[in-house]
Amino acid sequence: MILIGDKLIPFENISKISIIDDIKHTNSNSTIIFYFQEEILKYCFENELSSAVIVSNIKEAVYANSLNAKYIICKENLAIKIQKIADNYMFDTRVLAIIENSDEIESVALNEIDGAIYKDLL
C-alpha cells in the first residue's frame, strides 16, 4: 500500500500546480499534482513528467491512466469505484484515496485501494 504524506514514512517530492507555467518552479524529479485539466495532463504526457491527477469522475480517471499519470487521486468513495475498474483493466496508474489522518488508512486498505495521500499535500 502506498502512503504519501505520512510523517512515519518517507515519500517522494510533490509539487502542486494549477497551470503549465507553474512547472518551471517545481523541483526536478518531483511528482506534479494538479486537478484534472486536459492541457496539463497532455503536457505531462508529451514531456514524460511524473504526474498525479486529482479527478472527480471515472472518465477523468480513464484519461489520466491513458496518458500515463503515475497516480489518480480522489475521495475514497470514488476511489473504490475507480480501483475496481483499474484492477479489471490492469491500469498502470495507481489509485490513491484522499485521507485526513492515519485513522483512515484501515478503511483504504480494507477497500483494497492502491494507497492513500494526505489532504494537506493537496
Residue ranges covered by each domain of the chain: 30-121
Share of the chain above pLDDT 90, in %: 98
Contact of 57 with 85, CB cutoff 8 Å: no
Confidence bin at 28 (pLDDT 50/70/90): confident
Report phi then psi at 23, rounded to 5.
-60, -30
With cell 470514488, the residue in question is: 78
CATH topology assigned to domain 30-121: TIM Barrel (3.20.20)
Sign, Cα dihedral of 112, 84, 68, 75: negative
| Residue 33 reports pLDDT greater than 90 | yes
Q: Which residues pair with 116 in a beta bridge?
A: 3, 97
Nearest to 63 by CA among 38, 35, 95: 38
* Mean model confidence pLDDT for the chain: 97
Q: Which residues contact 66 (CB under 8 A, 6 or more apart)?
A: none
Provide the whole-model pTM.
0.96
Mean predicted confidence (pLDDT) in 40-53: 97
The per-residue pLDDT for range 77-113, each reduced to its tens digit, is 999 999 999 999 999 999 999 999 999 999 999 999 9
